[in-house]
Structure 1
Amino acid sequence: MATRRDYQMGRWLAGRLMKELGLVSCQQPTHRYKRGGHEHVAIPNYLERQFAVTEPNQVWCGDVTCIWTGKRWAYLAVVLDLFARKPVGWAMSFSPDSRLTMKAWKWHGKPVVSPAG
């Protein structure tokens, strides 16, 4: 509205005027990712996308995903056996850190995978 009438104003003045008038912006605030204090270590790619595995417990892979619980984010870490394509370990936490992935890795000690299902 102000730009239609050639009023020049910055976002601070616009924000103050909106506050005085009881108006709320419908624009979402920008999401800022956390910046780590250190760089991540480059891990070599041993599989080179060769996922054909001939025996159980030869190759495990894992992933971490976030799940909205209604009030906050939870994180699920899963370790899969590539032969059986089934989970051999998993863990949930409210913080996506190395403790979460280690819990999924050590779940029930050494998992036994049955290729029959």
Structure 2
Amino acid sequence: MSRKGECWDNAPMERFFGSLKSEWVPETGYSSEHEARVDVQRYITRYNSIRPHSYNDYWSPVAMEKLAA
């Protein structure tokens, strides 16, 4: 177990990949690796820039960073 502020477990990544699989990846999968890479990159951009997060009072991580600055 890690201390507060030292995240050594994989819960954040599990949360991210769970959201990716349930919200974004098509049920039929992708027809090529290139298609998957491009689509996952679009999701990462959306996840960080646009998608609201309940932890941030429904602001995106990028918007929260700008508010803190």
TM-score (normalised: structure 1) = 0.23
> Which has the higher Rg, Structure 1 or Structure 2?
1
- Greater fraction strand: 1
TM-score (norm 2): 0.31
